[in-house]
Amino acid sequence: MGGMRPRATLVIEAGTQREERLLVPRAVGKRLLALKGSGGRTVASREELLFELHRTEESCCGLRAEWLVGRRDYSVGEMTDRLRRDGYSQSVVDNQIERYVESGVLDDARYADAFVRSRISCGWGARKIALELRRRGIDVDGLPAWPEEYFERDSEYRRALGLASMRSFSGRDPYAQVVRFLCTRGFDVGLAHRVARELATG
């Protein structure tokens, strides 16, 4: 789901000859730079600096997560991936995710329900929805009443037939075009053939 975003380099000077370089999320680097520029307190030891760094990372991670969920709902997997790509450490991300799950800010069941309903309204089939949810870290087999609650008996066939009927399939093999079209929309291959036969004889 994307590569690691650019990070800032924190240089810790230990005496005149030694320095240590740490990669930190850019937001953390900017915050530390702002604190230094505003005459914030100086740290006396490496341990104190690392403690301050961890505190700043947790704060920045919390603000980033808050900003993300303010824009749209996320699955736990998506949010974890997004924060890790921003460069936050696994332990900081895990703590943030745990807080959000406990408070109900992140809820995979709620997210999956809304996602399924919105994709059905866009004409997606059950197979494509299931694949996309798995990509977002949610196994549809864990959803209560999947797929019965979302797809009435034979409703997927009617939706597929409706979608294919609204398009014009011309060329040497309209039957294959219908099957390909429906399969790319996430409908089952057998169902796609059934619709293609119906349109061919229709």
> What contacts 27, CB < 8 A, 6 or more positions away?
60, 63, 64, 86
Query: What is the rounded CA–CA span in Å between residue 169 and residue 96?
Result: 50
Structure confidence at residue 82 (pLDDT): 96
| pLDDT under 50: residue ranges of the chain | none
Look at residue 2 and tell me if it is in a domain: no
**50 and 66 share a domain?**
yes
pLDDT tens digit sequence for 80-137: 999 999 999 999 999 999 999 999 999 999 999 999 989 988 888 888 999 999 999 9
Residue 114's domain comprises 107-151
Look at residue 33 and tell me if it is in a domain: yes
* 176 alpha carbon, distance to own chain's centre: 33
Structure confidence at residue 69 (pLDDT): 95
Domain CATH number, residue 133: 1.10.10
The tokens for 50 are: 């690392």
Do residues 80 and 97 touch, judged by C-beta distance below 8 A? yes
Q: Which helix (H) or strand (E) holds 25?
A: strand 18-25
Which of these three, 84, 106, 128, is where a domain ends?
106
Structure confidence at residue 5 (pLDDT): 80
